[in-house]
Amino acid sequence: MDEEELPLYCSGGLRFFWDNKFDHAMVAFLDCVQQFKEEVEKGDTGFCLPYRMDVEIEDMGGSGGSYSIKTQFNSEEQWTKALKFMLTNLKWGLAWVSSQFYNR
């Protein structure tokens, strides 16, 4: 088991946009959300998140509707869009989990 520390926070400043550990942590978090989606889809074929996720995305220009979750070599605007889409997917996933407990 790999015990690499992946901080999902940063102290801010200009260094924030060049922090590889933060980028690795964001990619790992996005991968967790993707794994959650795949597990839910195994049992609920009607489950669908509004935005497609790809942890391997390297499209820094946002062409084709894809945005990178990484800060490095990315514009603030493109990165903010990637976060918005990821957080929206997370919100939908949370709503689905809540509905599973509510319906019991």
User: Does residue 17 surpass a pLDDT of 70?
Assistant: no
Q: Inform me whether the pLDDT recorded for 3 exceeds 90.
A: no
Nearest-5° Cα angle at 38, 1 to 28: 40
93-84-10 Cα angle (round to 5) = 105
- Quickly list H helices, the chain: 20-43, 76-102
Domain ranges of the chain: 14-102
In the block, which residue shows the tokens 């015990």? 3
Q: How much is the pTM?
A: 0.80
Write out pLDDT tens, residues 88-97: 999 999 999 9
pLDDT average, residue stretch 34-43: 94
For residue 32, pLDDT beyond 70: yes
Q: Look at 54 and 14; give whichever has higher pLDDT.
A: 54
Closest CA to 53 of 71, 66, 36: 66
